[in-house]
A and B are shown apart, each in its own frame.
Chain A
Amino acid sequence: MSIELKNISKKFGEVAAVNNVSFSVNEGELMALLGPSGGGKTTVLRMIAGLEVPTGGDIFIRGQRVNDVSVQKRNIGFVFQSYALFKSMNVFKNIAFGLKIKKWKRADAKERVMELLKLFGLDGLEKRFPHQLSGGQRQRVAIARALAPKPTVLLLDEPFGAVDAKIRHELREWLVTLHQDLNVTTIFVTHDQEEAMEVSNRIVIFSKGNLEQIGTPREVYEQPENEFVARFVGVMNVLDTEVQGGVARIGGMQFAAPGQPDGARLRIGFRPYAVQISTNLNLFPYRAVLRHTFFLGIMLRLELELSSGLVLRSRVTKEEYAALGLEDGREVSIQIRNFRILARDTAGLPPEQEVIHQAPPTIAEHI
């Protein structure tokens, strides 16, 4: 176990930024802390680093309790969102800084820096100053600098936030490769679900200072433990239904709800991939019209409208789309393969009407 947090809390004055959070990170793991801004994920990262002191709970690094260990002694590598490169030092000196502080021999330090420069594709830039580098180069210098003294754990705060979108995808892949090569325990903070899903081994999801779920990308996507996770990670069709005779109903659709009393209100959710489509109008129970097709690379997102006016999202591959002979305006039959009950007794919850516009838009549609 590389890192363990036990009942960690942090208050800034009266405001609770982190509430009673516990999780552990395995040696060599690549872990994402995911959540909307203000969720407490950066605070957690900074507490692991020692830049913030927890108000309650214990932090262990490789079995040693580090609550009272200063930042300097924790042997962590931290990459700041702004990179925080030393402006008055060139690339070489930036990367060598930690080695100099830790009193490495000059020759050893030089060898280590050169090795990192090569690994990070920065060779030839060692005399440059930070303001003479592109955004991507700066980021790589920041990671190289953090890794130079061979830290126990690498912590990255929104590592791709400051890089433009075009390069971001490629840098993600690069980070995964780098992690495989170096095998150093890595924790990074992101608010981008797609980034977390694509890069990490496991994801910890935060909301308002609480740990909502921890699991592999697949687990949090397929088995969200609560409504927040379900809606934050990936696109979800969400319907507010009312139970009659053990069946939850809305707009002509029916979902089995055995054991639920009549009149109970259930919020039901299902992923786009759970919506099965056929052009054989008698194959599946519901009729719908394909209103819009959105092209997302190899995947296509479909907007389906039921006769009751209910709008659902589905997703098919290009090949399936072609094989089915789909086109906008075509009438199809659909069925819902599986669904989850997100919440019971939705009377107190805000109404859920326009499914399409309420689901978060950015999740990797191709998962």
Chain B
Amino acid sequence: MAGTVKRRLGAGHAKSQRGTEESLLVKWLLIGVALLFCLVFLLLPLLNVFAQAFSKGWSTYVGALTHPDSWAAIKLTLLVAAITVPLNVLFGLAAAWCIAKFEFRGKALLITLIDLPFSVSPVVAGLMFVVLFGAQGFFGPWLDEHGIKIIFAVPGIVLATIFVTFPFVARELIPVMQAAGNDQEQAALTLGANGWQTFCHVTLPSVKWGLIYGVILCNARAMGEYGAVSVVSGHIIGRTSTMPLQVEQLYQNANTAGAFAVASLLAMLALVTLAVKTILEWKQNREFALAQQATLAEGGDAPFLARQESK
């Protein structure tokens, strides 16, 4: 969710920059349109969330959040994210590794499969799990016999969330790993490093930024997912309701302040994600700029060779 917000902001910004080549009128018109768009569709609704959340005062806000049902939803959301994100990091690393470093049959198919959750509607994704694990589902009777509950329980929510957030880490890592190639790993091998040392000291650091970015996006989506989770959770308040579901519930029950209080927490998450991402990008750019300056100031190889000659 946060990803979408950020990208739209970015697009508006780029448009106003390009306007410098146009006449002044066109330029200001475009800037105005972009700003107005951002204001009406992004900033106002966001501000409204916080305004509504605090409309009945601070104590109501805190009360709404600490209400056992809301508190349970917050805890469940954190739990789901805590399971989903590490699993998707593991999967993403493995998938990106094999796609970037090896040639094999069916590689294109694997890449397409990784993208599948992006193209499937979350509701459909949820339904797929119901069909598989529900009471009338494929594995339903067997699961029932063994007393395992997946649908309308936490495991179902985790499964649905993993499915929906599947591509984020892998998608971020694949291009970074492909760009890095195999050379550094091979160099580590020739220096005596084993596979694990190579992974920890060479591979992981070289994909650090891509991985962090992927984790942020994955986490934001895991916490904010509504559609797929809604289908498999059964909306059992206090037990299988995550934050987005809880917002919906509270709103349906005409508890506007409560709904907006929980919603403001989710919105805060989006803002934090945006901020962290911006800081990371800024840090990366600064590193690059510093590197450029240093190289320019250095003057290349001439000094070294001169020194060698004078020896």
Please list the residues of chain A having a beta carbon within 8 angstroms of any beta carbon in chain B.
49-51, 71-73, 75-78, 80, 82, 84-89, 97-98, 101-102, 121, 128-129, 131-137, 140, 145-146, 149, 167, 170, 174
Contacts and interface: CB of A to CB of B under 8 A. Distances in A.
B192 A101 contact: yes
B183 interface: yes
B187 A77 contact: no
A297 to B, nearest CB: 19
Q: Which 10 A-B pairs have the closest CB atoms?
A: A88-B205, A84-B183, A136-B301, A98-B191, A78-B190, A84-B187, A134-B300, A132-B291, A101-B192, A71-B189
B190 A174 contact: no
Given A86-B184, A87-B184, A101 B301 contact: no
B197 to A, nearest CB: 6
A128 B301 CA distance: 15
Contact of A84 (B186, B294, B301): B186
23 contacts: A72-B193, A78-B190, A80-B187, A82-B181, A84-B183, A84-B184, A86-B184, A89-B201, A89-B205, A98-B192, A101-B188, A101-B192, A101-B193, A121-B307, A129-B291, A131-B288, A132-B291, A132-B294, A134-B301, A136-B300, A137-B304, A145-B187, A170-B308
B55 interface: no
Interface string B185-214: 011111111100100011001101000000
Contacts of B186: 51, 78, 80, 84
Interface of B: 180-181, 183-184, 186-194, 197, 201-202, 205-206, 208, 288, 291, 294-295, 298, 300-301, 304-305, 307-308
For A87, A128, A132, the residue with the greatest tally of chain B CB atoms inside 10 Å of its CB is: A132
A160 to B, nearest CB: 12
A76 B190 contact: yes
B252 to A, nearest CB: 50
B194 A72 contact: yes
Contacts of A87: 180, 184, 206
Nearest to A174: B308
A12 to B, nearest CB: 12
A121 B308 contact: yes
A51 B189 contact: yes
B301 A135 contact: yes
B183 A80 contact: yes
Contacts of A50: 190
Nearest to A148: B191
A230 B180 CA distance: 41
A154 B300 CA distance: 26
A170 B311 CA distance: 14
Contacts of B190: 49-51, 71-72, 76-78, 146
B201 A97 contact: yes
B294 A128 contact: yes
A85 B205 CA distance: 13
B137 to A, nearest CB: 46
A237 to B, nearest CB: 37
A122 B42 CA distance: 53
Contact of B295 (A71, A75, A134, A149): A134
A184 to B, nearest CB: 15
Contact of A86 (B187, B189, B298, B301): B187
Contact of A102 (B188, B192, B301): B192
B7 to A, nearest CB: 28
Given A84-B186, A134-B301, A145 B191 contact: yes
Nearest to B181: A82
Contacts of A71: 189-190
B294 A82 contact: no
Given A121-B307, A131-B288, A131-B295, 4 more contacts: A72-B189, A86-B201, A136-B300, A136-B305
A110 B294 CA distance: 24
A128 B202 CA distance: 17
For B184, B187, B202, the residue with the greatest tally of chain A CB atoms inside 10 Å of its CB is: B187
Contacts of A133: 295
A224 B223 CA distance: 73
Contact of B298 (A77, A134, A167): A134
Nearest to B300: A134
A137 B183 contact: no
Contacts of A140: 304
A101 B192 CA distance: 6
B215 to A, nearest CB: 18
Contacts of A129: 291
A117 to B, nearest CB: 12
Contacts of A82: 181, 183
Contact of B291 (A51, A131, A135): A131
B208 A88 contact: yes
Nearest to A72: B192
Contacts of B305: 136, 167, 170, 174
Given A87-B180, A129-B291, A136 B189 contact: no
B59 to A, nearest CB: 49
Contacts of A167: 301, 305
Contacts of A98: 191-192
B186 to A, nearest CB: 6
A132 B189 contact: no
A157 to B, nearest CB: 10
Contacts of B180: 87
A97 B188 contact: yes
A87 B203 CA distance: 10
For B189, B194, B197, the residue with the greatest tally of chain A CB atoms inside 10 Å of its CB is: B189
Contacts of A77: 190
A174 B306 CA distance: 12
Nearest to A169: B305
B179 to A, nearest CB: 10
Contacts of A145: 187, 191
For A50, A73, A87, the residue with the greatest tally of chain B CB atoms inside 10 Å of its CB is: A87
